[in-house]
C-alpha cells in the first residue's frame, strides 16, 4: 500500500463514540464488524479492549490467517501487547484516533514496500547470473523506485515508528 493510497479501516465490536465520530469524518473507508470480517482488504484494525474481542485472540487470528493489517488498540491497560502497532487511551479523541490510524497505515505501507524491495533485490541477483540486461535494467529501475518510496515513508517516521517497523528482527 503506497503512502497516500486509500486506507481501509475495520473497527471491531461496538465502537465507542470517538471511533464512530472518526468513522463519520474519515476520508477513507471505515467499517465496523467482527473478527470474521478481517480479511486482506483491511489495512488498519481498530480494537477497543473493552469489547468482547481480546487483543490476544485478535492478534492470533491475524497471524493464523497471514493478514498484513496493522493494529491500533484503544484501552487503559498498562500491559504491552506484542503485535499491536499503537495503543491509545480508551478515551482517545477523534483526532488522536485519526493520527494513530495514519501512523499505523504508514507502518504497514513501509513493511509492504520493504518486502517488495527485498523480493526485487533477490530477482536482481538472479538476473545478474542470467545475463539478461533488459530485465536487469527493468528490475534495477523498480528497485530505485522502491528505495525512493521507502525513503519518503521513513522521512515521516519517529523513533516509535522505527521500533515498530523493525520489531520482528529480534
pTM: 0.80
HEC readout, the chain? CCCCCCCEEEEECCCCHHHHHHHHHCCCEEEEECHHHCCCCCCEEEEECCCCCCHHHHHHHHHHHCCCCEEEEECCCCCCCCCCCEEECCCCCHHHHHHHHHHHHHHHHHHHHHHHHHHHHHHHHHHHHHCCHHHHHHHHHHHHHHHHHHHHHHCCCCHHHHHHHCHHHC
What averages of pLDDT result for each successive group of 10 residues across the chain (170 residues)?
66 71 77 88 86 81 91 75 82 87 90 92 90 89 94 88 70
Domain extents for the chain? 8-105, 109-169
The predicted structure's pLDDT at residue 38: 92
The predicted structure's pLDDT at residue 91: 83
Q: How many CA atoms lie within 13 A of 126 on its CB side?
A: 8
The predicted structure's pLDDT at residue 141: 95
Q: What is the layout of strands, in order, in the sheet containing 8-12?
A: 29-33, 8-12, 44-48, 70-74, 86-88
The predicted structure's pLDDT at residue 75: 81
Sequence-distant (≥ 6) Cβ neighbours of residue 33 within 8 angstroms: 10, 11, 12
Fold category of 8-105 in CATH: Rossmann fold (3.40.50)
> What length is written for the chain?
170
Amino acid at each position: 500500500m503506497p503512502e497516500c493510497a486509500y486506507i481501509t479501516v475495520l473497527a471491531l465490536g461496538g465502537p465507542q463514540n470517538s471511533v464512530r465520530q472518526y468513522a463519520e469524518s474519515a476520508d477513507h473507508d471505515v467499517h465496523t464488524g467482527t473478527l470474521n470480517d478481517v480479511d486482506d482488504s483491511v489495512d488498519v484494525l481498530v480494537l477497543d479492549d473493552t469489547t468482547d474481542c481480546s487483543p490476544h485472540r485478535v492478534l492470533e487470528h491475524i497471524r493464523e490467517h497471514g493478514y498484513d493489517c496493522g493494529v491500533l488498540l484503544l484501552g487503559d491497560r498498562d500491559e504491552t501487547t506484542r503485535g499491536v502497532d499503537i495503543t491509545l487511551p480508551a478515551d482517545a479523541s477523534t483526532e488522536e484516533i485519526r493520527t494513530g490510524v495514519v501512523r499505523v497505515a504508514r507502518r504497514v505501507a513501509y513493511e509492504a514496500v520493504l518486502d517488495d524491495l527485498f523480493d526485487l533485490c533477490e530477482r536482481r541477483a538472479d538476473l545478474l547470473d542470467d545475463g539478461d540486461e533488459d530485465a536487469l535494467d527493468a528490475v534495477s529501475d523498480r528497485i530505485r523506485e522502491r528505495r525512493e518510496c521507502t525513503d519518503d515513508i521513513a522521512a515521516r517516521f519517529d523513533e516509535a515508528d522505527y521500533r515498530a517497523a523493525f520489531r520482528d528482527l529480534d
